Amino acid sequence: MGSSTPVWAIIPAAGTGQRMQSEIPKQYLSFQDKTVIEHCLDRLLAHPEIDGVVVVLRDDDQHWDAIAYAAEKPLFTTTGGRHRHDSVYSGLTTLQYRFGNDAIALVHDAVRPLVSHRDLSNVIEAARQHTAGAILATPVTDTLKRQGNDMEIYATLSRDGLWRALTPQVFHLQPLLNALKQVIDKNLSITDDAEAVELMGHAPRLVAGEADNFKITSPGDLSLAEKIWLNQRDQQNDE
């Protein structure tokens, strides 16, 4: 991947957020006077290496137009599918249609609004240097237990070499498109984009990321996100 290859963010935002116990999808809940997805887009589009973004929406999305997000870089929308990987595939085909295969796709959850610019720079650089791409991740530090019958502990697992996958996950456009097409055609089950690439026989690079880059999935996460956001803003103002 050349250093001049443009980087485009793909934001799958077609989820319903049932775990939030809210009628509003979690990406449209708010803190600090903006929705979660607006904070996410602000963070990504302010990074100098990100050239634009494709936001993938549900076909019956009732909220996107209402926020009237004003982007200073190119922003396109398209509709997603039943699964997250269907939505990412849709975003990639939109990007390919407009710009061809010469692009790097940075896939990021719409509900991770706190990713740092340092982490973005590190994972983009790693993906440029590694043909299989790169993902942000954090080493597992907790003791892991496997559940047996009746919620009893069946076994304690070694955490050596285990990482929690985060986003962004960054790949050259064509290999990721090919990998996701195979997943869709074969009706495979995957939990992230890196797994699709792994199924093609490739090994994406792990890039250590900050724990602040967490996924908003439950009601209590919003207040935590606001505290971290304020702390990040204060730190930036002090620099």
Q: Who has greater pLDDT, 15 or 196?
A: 196
Q: Are 79 and 59 in contact (CB under 8 A)?
A: yes
The percent of residues in the chain predicted with pLDDT above 90, rounded, is 87
Rounded average pLDDT over 175-203: 97
What CATH number should be reported for the domain whose range is 7-136+164-238? 3.90.550.10
pLDDT digits (tens, 9 = 90+) for 134-151: 999 999 999 999 999 889
Distance CA 140, CA 12 (A): 26
Tracing tokens 């984009």 back to the chain, one arrives at 193
Q: Give the pLDDT score at 14.
A: 87
Average pLDDT of the chain is 93
Tokens representing residue 59 in the block: 């076909």
**Of the given ranges (19-23, 26-30, 57-61, 206-210), which has the lowest mean pLDDT?**
19-23
**Of the given ranges (48-57, 155-164, 211-220), which has the lowest mean pLDDT?**
211-220
pLDDT digits (tens, 9 = 90+) for 39-51: 999 999 999 999 9
Q: Give the pLDDT score at 115.
A: 97
Q: Does the pLDDT at position 70 exceed 70?
A: yes
**CB-based contacts of 64, cutoff 8 Å, min separation 6:** 13, 55, 57, 77
**Rounded to the nearest 10 degrees, what angle do helices 84-99 and 173-185 cross at?**
140
Rounded average pLDDT over 104-112: 97
- Domain positions in the chain are 7-136+164-238
pTM (predicted TM-score): 0.93
pLDDT digits (tens, 9 = 90+) for 206-219: 999 999 999 998 87
Q: Give the pLDDT score at 33.
A: 93
Angle at 177 between CA 175 and CA 178, to 5 degrees: 65
Residue type, 202: H
Q: Give the pLDDT score at 1.
A: 46
Q: Does the pLDDT at position 78 exceed 70?
A: yes
